[in-house]
A and B are shown apart, each in its own frame.
Chain A
Amino acid sequence: NAGVTQTPKFRVLKTGQSMTLLCAQDMNHEYMYWYRQDPGMGLRLIHYSVGEGTTAKGEVPDGYNVSRLKKQNFLLGLESAAPSQTSVYFCASRRDLSFSYNEQFFGPGTRLTVL
């Protein structure tokens, strides 16, 4: 049981390049989330998904797209990277709301630098 995994762990991009971050979870969780962490700002929600085939915008969605084609995977895409997207990206997942215990499990993070 690997929990939540993220690929890659580190990446350096040039302005204008595109890339996709992959999040995978093996806990059969319905909900998945992408956050970014910037110094002095805590974690902010980018996009989230409440189930396979569904996505929704979070607090800071601009410049990102997401897809949830399979329940276990949640992809975060940057179509044209900008230096402002330099950050640490965290993926998280949790069980359905029907369970009272609603802890979010976090992946190890992806450190992205855009030059």
Chain B
Amino acid sequence: AQKVTQAQTEISVVEKEDVTLDCVYETRDTTYYLFWYKQPPSGELVFLIRRNSFDEQNEISGRYSWNFQKSTSSFNFTITASQVVDSAVYFCALSEIRGGATNKLIFGTGTLLAVQP
């Protein structure tokens, strides 16, 4: 069965601190996608990144970086020099991509990040 675990329910940091959000996944598939979404207080879901299982290169986008490690089934998300605007709930998600599969997203329970000024 597929499962995504975000063990950190809430994290509170002070502005300019670095913070890492953990994501551990389970799947029997050898081919899959991993995602991170951001849900700010306004409620919408904002796509941040997609990573396929064949690409273990880490990615950096501005203050955001992602560390994908198949050996530990983890896809962690780091925000460098956090800002108040980063305050949101962050979801990690997993999607199968077998032939004929319907690309259903399996979400973790989310991590609430509060960045204090």
Contacts and interface: CB of A to CB of B under 8 A. Distances in A.
Q: Is the interface of B mostly helix, strand, loop or mixed?
A: loop
A103 interface: yes
A106 B103 CA distance: 14
Nearest to B95: A102
A40 B109 contact: yes
Interface stretch (B11-19, B44-52, B58-66, B68-76): B44-52
B49 to A, nearest CB: 10
B68 to A, nearest CB: 17
Interface in B29-65: 33, 35, 37, 43-45, 47, 50
A43 B105 contact: yes
A102 B109 contact: no
Given A88-B43, A103-B50, A43 B101 contact: no
Interface residues of A, number: 27
B43 A56 contact: no
Given A90-B45, A106-B44, A109-B44, A44 B105 contact: no
Contacts of A108: 43-44
B88 interface: no
Nearest to B50: A103
Given A42-B107, A43-B107, A109-B44, A102 B102 contact: no
B77 interface: no
B95 A42 contact: no
A109 B39 CA distance: 11
A42 B90 CA distance: 10
A94 B102 CA distance: 10
Contact of B108 (A42, A88, A94, A105): A42
A45 B104 contact: yes
Contacts of A56: 102
Contacts of A35: 107
B44 A31 contact: no
Interface of B: 4, 9, 33, 35, 37, 43-45, 47, 50, 91, 95, 97, 101-105, 107-110
